[in-house]
Amino acid sequence: MLSKELEAAINKQINAEFWSAYLYLSMSTHFAHEGLPGFANWFKVQFQEEQDHAMKFMNYLISKGNKVELKPIEKVDTSWESLLQAFEVTLNHERVVTSLINNLVSIARKENDYATENMLQWFVSEQVEEEETAQGMIDSLKLIGGNGFGIYTMDKELAQRTYTPISSSSES
């Protein structure tokens, strides 16, 4: 069983992961409405991944004999001025999530909870990828600028992204 402090922190993380999912679903519907189905698809896949992250944390708590406590999801924005702004919000949000994951690792280390620290390493690596991907999208959008053909091409490329569930070997 995990300590009460770690249980509370992981429950907070579960809520943060579901909030992330809700944010990305909101972005997906916004860009679908704007006629950018590829960008909508990219954010929909993000939504699905964030739900997986929440479930991974939930399954871990349950496996350790701890209680999952779901909280209400705070309101998210529903529109963005531009694609660039949406991806800047994405990058900033992923940086916040990284700090939350790092805090969980700190608690696990303080408590000498090696099993939890080991489980969290998957999330540490995932956050490196999430931040790198968001930065890459920002860099691409800055290169494209207002070029309609560039946005059209990028939208077509992002439409090809598919959702890949977390493999059973990485689930808790």
Domains in the chain with CATH codes? 4-69+81-170 (1.20.1260.10)
Tokens of 100: 């939350």
Nearest in space to 27 (alpha carbons), one of 49, 14, 44, 48? 44
List the pLDDT tens digit at each of the 172 positions of the chain: 999 999 999 999 999 999 999 999 999 999 999 999 999 999 999 999 999 999 999 999 999 999 999 999 999 999 999 999 999 999 999 999 999 999 999 999 999 999 999 999 999 999 999 999 999 999 999 999 999 999 999 999 999 999 999 875 445 4
How far is residue 147 from each of residues 37, 118, 150, measured CA to CA in Å? 17, 45, 5
Output the 3-class SS for 42-68.
Answer: HHHHHHHHHHHHHHHHHHHHHHCCCCC
User: Whole-prediction pTM value?
Assistant: 0.93
Secondary structure (3-state) at 78: coil
| pLDDT value for 171 | 54
| pLDDT value for 168 | 53
Judge whether 11 and 68 are in contact, CB under 8 Å.
yes
**Unique residue bearing structure tokens 């620290």:** 117
| pLDDT value for 166 | 85
